[in-house]
Amino acid sequence: MSLQVMVVEDDREIRSLLQSSLSVEGFAVQTAVSLSEAYALLKHKPPDLIVLDLGLPDGDGLQLVRELRKQHSTPVIVVSARHQEAQKIELLDAGADDYLTKPFSVDELLARMRVALRHRGTSLAAAVTTHNLEDLRVDLAAHLVERDGEALHLTPTEFKLLARLVRSAGRVVTHRQMLADVWGPEFTEHTHYLRLYMAQLRAKIERDPTEPRRLLTETGVGYRLADA
Partner 1 sequence: MVHDSRVQEQGAHSLRGWLAVALLLATATLCGALLDPFVTLTSQAMLYVLVVVIAAYRLDWVQSALCAVGAVTALNFFFVPPRWTFDVESQEHFIALVVMLVVALVISHLAASLRRESRHAALNEQRARQLQALASSLAFASAPQEIVALGQHALDAAFDGPNSLLLKNETDSSLSDVDLPDGVRDGLRCCMVECAVLGPGTGRWPGLNAWYLPLGDKGHVLGAARVWPALAEDSDGREHAQALCSLLAQTLWRARLAASMHAAQIEAQRQQLQSTFLAAVSHDLRTPLAAIVGAASSLQTQREKLSPSEQDRLLGSIASEASYLSTVTENTLQLVRLTSLQKELKRDWESLEEIVGAVLARVRQRDTARRIKSRVPPGLPLLKADPVMLAQLIGNLLDNALKYSEGEIDLIVNAFPQALVISVKDRGPGIAPAEQDLIFEPYRRSDQSGQRGAGLGLALCRAIAIAHGGSLTVRRRGGGGSCFIATLPLQEPQPERELA
Name the site residues for partner 1 (rule: CB under 8 A).
82-83, 85-86, 103, 155-157, 191-192, 195-200, 202-203, 209-212, 216-220
CA atoms within 13 A on the CB side of 59: 11
Q: Which helix (H) or strand (E) holds 14?
A: helix 12-24
For residue 210, the minimal CB distance to partner 1 (Å) is 4
**In this complex, which beta carbon is closest to partner 1, that of residue 66 or of residue 190?**
190
Name the residue nearer to partner 1 (CB basis): 86 or 228.
86
DSSP, res 59: B
Shortest Å, Cβ 28 to partner 1: 28
Angle of helix 35-44 versus helix 61-71 axis, rounded to 10: 10
Please state the closest distance from residue 103 (CB atom) to partner 1, in A: 5
Check: CB of residue 74 under 8 Å from CB of residue 120. yes
Question: Considering beta carbons, is residue 144 or 196 the nearer one to partner 1?
Answer: 196
Residue 25 CB, nearest approach to partner 1 (Å): 19
The radius of gyration of the chain from alpha carbons, rounded to an integer in Å, stands at: 18
Q: Which is nearer to partner 1, 77 or 215 (CB)?
A: 215
Choice between 12 and 66, CB closer to partner 1 = 12
Shortest distance in whole angstroms from residue 191 CB to partner 1: 5
Q: Residue 50: in which H helix or E strand, if any?
A: strand 49-53
On the CB side of 206, CA atoms within 13 Å amount to: 18
